[in-house]
Amino acid sequence: MDDDDTIAAQRSFRNRTPIAVALFVVGVILVAFLISSSDVEGELVLSTKGGAETTFIPDDCRSGAPRGFAGVELSGDVPGVVVRLLDDPMQGPRVAVEREHGGLVTYDRDACQTLDVEVEEGNTTTNDVRSLRGSARVQCEGVRGKVVFFGCH
């Protein structure tokens, strides 16, 4: 290999280095996004005491650990409404519906025909919060439906 070939090879390597670094950074960002993203499927029908019903389609979930409870918090397409699925080892499963102007209503086994809440820890941790996955099937006085969730941090 003569000097011209060596110089050409060095230039070629230098020209490719920024591209390789950029691809690496994009790959790291993509992996971080995929690991930290959550997914929720299903729907819940929420009822008020007056009998009005609203279909709540959750599109995001978060772990309840930073908020002081065992379970997940669902947010969705109804502004000002949050649904919490609690898997409390002492009090058993519960579902709580919080409305921006209507307060918090909690349903336990006594208020439900069906209340199956399963929450399991996942494989990843973000900011010291373990990811959660699971499902819920509820038929209560003020909320009914099914949801499946995973990747909740």
Q: Which of 91, 93, 67 is nearest to 82 (CA)?
A: 67
pTM of the predicted protein model: 0.73
Distance between CA atoms of residues 28 and 38, nearest Å: 18
Give the pLDDT score at 115: 96
* SS3 category, 102: coil
Token pair for 152: 């909740």
pLDDT in tens, 28-72: 444 444 444 568 999 999 998 788 899 999 999 999 988 889 999
Q: Which of 82, 77, 95 is nearest to 134 (CA)?
A: 95
Q: Assess contact for 55 and 66: CB atoms under 8 A.
A: no
Q: Which residues pair with 92 in a beta bridge?
A: 88
Q: Which of 93, 102, 50, 52 is nearest to 69 (CA)?
A: 93
Give the pLDDT score at 133: 92
Token pair for 123: 């494989």
